[in-house]
Amino acid sequence: MLADVQIINKKIAAHTVVRLQNELYKTWNLHGYLYRFGYINLFCDDSRPYRYWLVKKNANLELPNYQKMELNTQLYDIWENKNIAIEFRK
């Protein structure tokens, strides 16, 4: 997990809000590491669109208009929609 966190932190700016796959919501160490090392905020809120989605590796999700980022991660994938503005939260 820590290796993935380091890779993700290099690609996503600090204080960015990222949509988290519902199944990962209670993975508290993931929340903690991403915020501790990269100030990345994870949310499971469907009320608005997000620039990034963090999902389990090879998850069977349909994310129209999103493209998987080519990252050398082991556990997680990041999907990006470049048509959505990046949201920052401190």
Q: Are 82 and 8 in contact (CB under 8 A)?
A: no
pLDDT reported for residue 4: 98
Distance CA 55, CA 33 (A): 16
In a domain, 60, yes or no: yes
Instruction: Give residue 75's domain range.
Output: 2-80
The number of folded domains in the chain is 1
- What average pLDDT does range 27-38 have in this prediction? 97
CB 66 within 8 A of CB 81: yes
* Residue at 85 is within a domain: no
- Is 51 a member of any domain? yes
DSSP code, position 83 = T
In a domain, 29, yes or no: yes
Residue 86 lies in a domain: no
pLDDT digits (tens, 9 = 90+) for 42-89: 999 999 999 999 999 989 999 999 999 999 999 999 999 999 999 998
Query: Which residues lie below 8 Å from residue 22, measured CB to CB, with a gap of 6+?
Result: 44
